[in-house]
Amino acid sequence: MEAIPWGKPYEGDPEPISAKPLFGYVQPWNGFDPECTIQNREECHLLPSQTANIKVAGVYDGIEVGGNRWMEMAAEEALLSVRNGGGPFGAVILQIDDQSNHVIRYWRNHNHVPDWHDPTAHAEVSTIRAAARELGVFDLGNIAKGQSKMSQPGARSHCVIYSSAEPCPMCYSAIYWARIPRLIFAATRYDAAAQGVDFSDEALYRELGQPYAERQGVKASQSTVPNSLDAFNLWKRKTKTSY
């Protein structure tokens, strides 16, 4: 989970995928078809290896791009996670020097929910935590040379994140709060929800779109107490480090 030095130019974002036919398009696939080892072998024929991403109703129109070493590295990290008992998710964060456009260093990490007994230890969150902790900053989108605990050649740098799969709402929010300006992901939310994978976020997306009184997953109440605003009132009236 420690930073890995790189010091080479950032190749830039993956190239956009050119217009493809509505029918007849074949997505590249590396042929990885692992042996089925689930306990009930009779179900193996129901869980064939998937060869293409599931993209529904134009959700990804206008944002489809090809791959690069960093996207492949995030997918490799996800595979490593599964082989070590973790969830099938990986992420890579690059720190890029603004002036030279060189990748100063990068972090790669994966899902740690089972081994850390931490339901928030998704790949993106774990990687953000590692990068922010080593750099000593909470804004990964604008890192000043004098503020960072780690060296950088130029006055400013920023991070981008590659995720093996479309981030869940929690991870997307973590990327947002870390102010990482660029996200590239591979597998879609529909791939994650496929039979046998079963990591669907649809209930959460629906839940967040409902008023509190109509939500089903968590019963929430707004409580009125005399000291509910104490922390906010002190915060706004004292010298502080905003974030």
Active site residues: 124
Terminal Cα distance for the chain, rounded: 24
Three-state secondary structure string covering the chain: CCCEEEEEECCCCCCECCCCCCCCCCCCCCCCCCCCCCCCHHHHHHCCCCCCCCCCCCCCCCCCECCCHHHHHHHHHHHHHHHCCCCCCEEEEEEEECCCCEEEEEEEEECCHHHHCCCCCCHHHHHHHHHHHHHCCCCCCCEECCCCCCCCCCCEEEEEEEEEECCCHHHHHHHHHCCCCCEEEEECHHHHCCCCCCCCCHHHHHHHCCCHHHCCCCCCCCCCCCCCCHHHHHHHCCCCCCC
* Distances, alpha carbon 40 to alpha carbons 43, 107, 197, 214, in Å: 6, 37, 16, 39
Backbone angles phi, psi at 163, to 5 degrees: -120, 135
Count of C-beta atoms within a 10 Å radius of residue 112: 22
